[in-house]
Amino acid sequence: MIKRLSAAFLALVILCLMCVCLILFLKNVGGNSSTPRPTPRITRAAVTSTSAPSVTVNPKITSTPKPTRTAVPLPKYSLLAEKNDYFFVVVSPEVGKNRSDLNRITDKLCKSRDFCVVLFWDDRSKAATSLPMTDAQVNSEVAIYNLNKNTGLDRLLLCGGDSPDC
C-alpha cells in the first residue's frame, strides 16, 4: 500500500515539476513579464510623414460584396422505387443525355451513402422497379450511376445512342 502511494506521489511531483518548467519556458519565450514593455505610440507626425505612402480612402465603398451563388434548379425526375441502395428513376429524354443534370440528381439521392446505384430510364413503361431486371429493361436504360466510397468508384455511364459506356 505504501509503495502504491509513494509511486502516485512521485508521479504527482513529476507532473508538478513539468508544469513549473513549462510555465518558466513560456515566460522566457514571451519575455520577462515583470519588466514592462514600452507600448509603441503612433504620433500625428508619424502618420503625416512624407516618407509613409499615402492611401486614398473612398468613402462610398463600405465593404466588399460577397459573390452570390445562384442555385441551379434540380432537374425534374420521378423516383419509381428505392430498394436498399438502389434507386429506379425516370427522367425526360433531354435530362437523360445531360451529365450535369444526372449528376445533380445522383448527388441528391446518394449524398449520405457509402454505396449507391441509380438506374435511369426516359420511358416509364420500360423502366424497372425492382431487381432482377428483364433484358428489355436493361437495354432501355439511359444512364447508370455507381458509387462505392470503399473502393473509390464514382461513375456515371450514359447508355444508348452514340455512347459506348453501357
Radius of gyration of the chain (CA): 34
What mean pLDDT is predicted for residues 44-64? 52
Arithmetic mean of pLDDT over the chain: 77
Place of cell 512521485: 10
pTM comes to 0.57
* 98-154 pLDDT per residue, tens: 999 999 999 999 999 999 999 999 999 999 999 999 999 999 999 999 999 999 999
Q: Which of 10-24, 25-39, 62-76 has the highest mean pLDDT?
A: 62-76
Nearest partner of 97 among 118, 74, 120, 80, judged by Cα: 120
Which DSSP symbol is given to 90? E
What mean pLDDT is predicted for residues 84-95? 97
The band of 48, judged by pLDDT with boundaries at 50, 70 and 90, is very low
Kindly write down the DSSP assignment for every residue of 99-157, as one continuous string: HHHHHHHHHHHHTT-SEEEEEEES-GGG--SSSSPPHHHHHT--EEEEEETTTTEEEEE
Handedness of CA 153, 155, 160, 163 (dihedral sign): negative
Q: What is the pLDDT of residue 4?
A: 58
Handedness of CA 41, 44, 45, 48 (dihedral sign): positive
Q: What does residue 49 show for φ and ψ, rounded to 5 degrees?
A: -60, 145
Asked if 74 and 104 count as a contact pair (C-beta separation under 8 A), the reply is yes
154 strand-pairing partners: 147
Q: Count of H helices and E strands in the chain?
A: 5, 5
For the beta carbon of residue 117, count every other beta carbon within 10 angstroms: 20
Stretch among 32-36, 73-77, 120-124 having the lowest mean pLDDT:
32-36
